[in-house]
Amino acid sequence: MPYIKPEDRLKYEHHLMSIKAGLTNHEEIPVGELNYLISTMIAELLENFGLNYSNGNKLIGVLECAKLELYRRMLTPYENQKIIDNGDVYYD
């Protein structure tokens, strides 16, 4: 889960601001660049902590939970509004 203590976030803020600026300086979402950033961070972690099933499984879990959290927090409210706007597919 991405909800770490505010004091633990501080060590990343400067770097994240720079990365966010680079990612938002495009006309559309730079999916290749985002994939590159995520992939290189994952590869670095595996290099530092060891390439084995357990570490790979942990990192896949992080990616899966990040995906689910994105859907839960951002896309679900959007989808709920679209149901209100356009009608429900399942219960109309």
pLDDT in tens, the chain (92 residues): 688 999 999 999 999 999 999 999 999 999 999 999 999 999 999 999 999 999 999 999 999 999 999 999 999 999 999 999 999 999 86
* 79 close to 71: Cβ distance less than 8 angstroms: no
Rounded Cα distance, 59 and 67, in Å:
12
pTM given for the model = 0.85
Of 10, 19, 73, 54, the closest CA to residue 45 belongs to: 54
Of 42, 81, 36, 33, the closest CA to residue 64 belongs to: 42
